[in-house]
């Protein structure tokens, strides 16, 4: 990141972005920051609220975003995945209580300042009303990056 101006293209696959809903705009800006840090030209959001109707989740509150690709390459296969995750987690604007989960059983909660604590991605979703009940957090996030903005989740969310 230099002193110049950077442009990042954000593709919203399901046309479900609402800048007035929860923190969707903050999430998009934080995602763009991570893309700039890793040298990516863009990323694809597969869901802000898409696919989460009827359930009480960070997605429905406008406090979560799923990312399926970086520079057009699926996140699970992207050579930029590690750098993107480090870029996101280095963003001091991301508030305490936020979460990030990604392919490779990668998961963290922001606990203070720049400190993140690992999530046991081998634990299973304990919510009987969840469509992912009984699946591990790692299995659920094998194809996308999931980020939540701020506190509110007592368990990792999908």
Residue 4 covered by a domain: no
Residue 127 covered by a domain: yes
The two structure tokens encoding residue 96:
């305490």
**pTM for this predicted structure:** 0.89
pLDDT given for residue 133 in this prediction = 87
Residue 133 covered by a domain: yes
pLDDT given for residue 118 in this prediction = 93
Residue 154 covered by a domain: no
In a 3-state reduction of DSSP, which class is residue 67? strand
Residue 27 covered by a domain: yes
pLDDT given for residue 156 in this prediction = 57
18-62: pLDDT as tens digits: 999 889 999 999 999 999 999 999 999 999 886 665 566 788 888
Residue 155 covered by a domain: no
In which domain, by residue range, is 141 found?
Answer: 9-148
Residue 3 covered by a domain: no
The count of structural domains within the chain is 1
pLDDT given for residue 132 in this prediction = 82
Question: In angstroms, how far is CA 155 from the centroid of its own chain?
Answer: 15
Q: Which residues contact 113 (CB under 8 A, 6 or more apart)?
A: 96
Residue 2 covered by a domain: no
pLDDT given for residue 139 in this prediction = 94
In a 3-state reduction of DSSP, which class is residue 9? strand
Distance CA 128, CA 44 (A): 30
CA distances from 104 to 57, 85, 155 (A): 23, 12, 19
Find the mean pLDDT for residues 134-146. 93
Statement: residue 120 has pLDDT above 80: yes
57-114: pLDDT as tens digits: 788 888 999 999 999 999 999 999 999 999 999 999 999 999 999 999 999 999 988 8
């Amino acid at each position: 990141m230099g002193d110049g101006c950077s442009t990042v293209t954000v593709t919203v696959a399901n046309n479900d972005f609402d800048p007035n809903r929860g923190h969707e705009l903050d999430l998009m800006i934080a995602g763009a920051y991570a893309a700039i840090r890793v040298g990516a030209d863009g990323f694809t959001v597969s869901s802000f609220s898409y696919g989460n109707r009827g359930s009480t989740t960070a997605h429905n509150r406008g406090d979560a975003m799923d990312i399926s690709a970086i520079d057009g390459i699926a996140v699970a296969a992207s050579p930029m995945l590690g750098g993107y995750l480090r870029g996101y987690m280095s963003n001091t604007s991301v508030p305490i209580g936020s979460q990030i989960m990604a392919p490779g059983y990668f998961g963290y909660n922001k606990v203070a300042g720049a400190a993140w604590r690992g999530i046991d991605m081998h634990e299973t979703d304990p919510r009987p009303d969840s469509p992912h009940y009984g699946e591990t957090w790692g299995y659920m996030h094998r194809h996308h990056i999931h980020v939540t903005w701020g506190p509110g989740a007592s368990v990792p969310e999908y």
